[in-house]
């Protein structure tokens, strides 16, 4: 049993933890408005979102995984260097997720992972091996880091605009209807929650797949970046389980902390967020479901009564977004440095021989064949 195989297994397990925290975070964002508007029971909302989150990765392409998994080039790096990039980025994303969950703020797992990859990549392989995409951007194309940044930063802005416009449309289209029309919104809530869950699984689950693909490449298991079927199933299962245990701290912040959410807000929020996620997945750009849902909800509130929105709470959430990338980059750099230092220590280098000795001791001795046999 060699050490790199142990690290590969460890990364696959840690990816499950990352996807679990991702689903844990985003489940709260996706169902917060449905629960706050009292249109759906929490268990029903979570069940619908979880089901469609699991289905999505098997039915869409892997364009997002290709974007995330290839903008830091580790194909020509040593196994140790490739591992340090992947593990540093993973630990950075998980750390930021857990801290923001504890504070009750919806953060971006995508931003955390992207920032961690850039920070770890800068330490391990240098800026030359990072596909920044600046030259392609001058030619009118989105590639590499620029594609990631465009998806993560443009999606909240688009979410706010769509949330504002969709809310204005609902007010205009249904202004003359009585309260009896609310039944239509209750029914449409099931469709909008399902679509949001599907768009979440289609985009967010692919980031964990990208990490596994990078680790397989770093260990020489594959000769080029690719995603095996078992990795799709593994990440889909992990993010779905995390979704089933959605964080109530974030539900309280989004569902009750910004303004009084009604069923019209809930439907407009989910439809708008799902549309943004779907468009981003189509072009292969990663998005943050947390940011998209929050920005769309702020657009919903601003369209009705801007004065009723608790903008101070919103400012706290948005400030966390701006801190996400730089903090994750620093964490990725630090964890990459730490992992490289630990792996290079004499004690760790002696681990493979230790396992070989243990393997010899526990392996039953086979009788030698004689010449008569």
Tokens 């998005």, located at residue: 287
Burial annotation 318-352 (CB, 10 A radius, 16+ → b, else e): bebbeebbebbbebbbbbbbebbeebeeeeeeeee
- Name the maximum alpha-carbon separation found in the chain: 100
What total of structural domains would you count in the chain?
1
Would you say residue 370 lies in a domain? no
Would you say residue 35 lies in a domain? yes
Range of the domain at 30: 3-346
- Closest to 74 in 3D by CA, of 189, 256, 220: 220
Would you say residue 366 lies in a domain? no
Helix/strand/coil (H/E/C) assignment for every residue in 28-89: HHHHHHHHHCCCCCHHHHHHHHHHHHHHHHHHCCCHHHHHHHHCECCCCCCHHHHHHHHHHH
Would you say residue 129 lies in a domain? yes
Would you say residue 132 lies in a domain? yes
Tell me the CA end-to-end span of the chain in Å, nearest whole number. Answer: 32
Non-local CB neighbours of 170 within 8 Å, separated by 6+ positions: 264, 267, 268
Would you say residue 373 lies in a domain? no
- pLDDT of the chain along its 373 residues, tens only? 344 468 888 889 989 988 887 787 777 777 777 777 777 887 888 888 889 989 998 988 888 888 888 889 888 888 889 889 999 999 998 888 788 777 766 667 778 888 999 999 999 999 998 988 888 888 888 888 888 888 778 888 899 999 999 998 888 887 766 556 677 788 888 898 899 889 988 888 888 999 999 989 888 888 888 999 999 999 999 988 888 776 555 555 554 555 567 788 888 888 999 999 999 888 888 888 878 888 898 898 888 888 877 788 778 777 777 788 899 999 999 999 999 988 877 665 555 544 444 434 444 444 444 444 4
Would you say residue 352 lies in a domain? no
Would you say residue 301 lies in a domain? yes
């Amino acid at each position: 049993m060699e050490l790199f195989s142990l690290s590969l297994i460890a990364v696959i397990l840690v990816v499950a933890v990352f996807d679990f925290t991702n689903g844990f975070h985003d489940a709260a964002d996706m169902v917060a408005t449905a629960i706050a508007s009292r249109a759906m029971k929490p268990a029903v909302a979570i069940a619908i979102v979880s089901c469609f989150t699991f289905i999505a990765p098997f039915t869409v392409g892997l364009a997002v995984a290709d974007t995330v998994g290839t903008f830091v080039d580790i194909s020509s790096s040593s196994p140790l260097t490739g591992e340090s990039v992947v593990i540093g980025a993973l630990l950075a994303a998980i750390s930021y997720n857990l801290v923001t969950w504890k504070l009750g703020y919806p953060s971006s797992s995508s931003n955390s992972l992207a920032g961690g990859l850039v920070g770890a990549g800068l330490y391990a392989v240098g800026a030359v091996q990072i596909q920044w995409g600046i030259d392609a951007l001058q030619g009118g194309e989105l590639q590499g880091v620029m594609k990631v940044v465009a998806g993560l930063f443009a999606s909240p802005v688009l979410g706010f605009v769509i949330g504002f416009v969709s809310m204005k449309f609902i007010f205009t289209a249904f202004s003359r209807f009585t309260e009896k029309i609310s039944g239509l919104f209750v029914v449409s809530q099931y469709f909008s929650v399902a679509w949001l869950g599907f768009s979440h699984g289609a985009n967010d689950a692919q980031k964990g797949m990208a990490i596994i693909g990078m680790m397989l490449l770093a260990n020489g298991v594959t000769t080029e970046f690719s995603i095996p079927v078992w990795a799709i199933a593994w990440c889909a299962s992990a993010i779905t389980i995390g979704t089933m245990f959605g964080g109530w701290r974030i539900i309280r912040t989004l569902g009750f902390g910004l303004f009084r959410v009604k069923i019209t807000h809930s439907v407009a929020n989910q439809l708008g967020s799902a549309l943004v996620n779907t468009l981003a997945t189509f072009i292969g750009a990663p998005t943050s479901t947390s940011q998209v849902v929050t920005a769309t909800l702020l657009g919903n509130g601003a369209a009705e009564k801007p004065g009723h929105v608790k903008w101070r709470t919103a400012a706290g959430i948005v400030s966390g977004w701006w801190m996400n990338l730089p903090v994750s980059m620093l964490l990725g750099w630090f964890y990459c440095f730490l992992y490289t230092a630990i792996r290079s220590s004499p004690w760790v280098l002696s681990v493979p021989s230790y396992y070989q000795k243990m393997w010899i001791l526990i392996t039953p001795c086979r009788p030698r064949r004689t010449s008569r046999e």
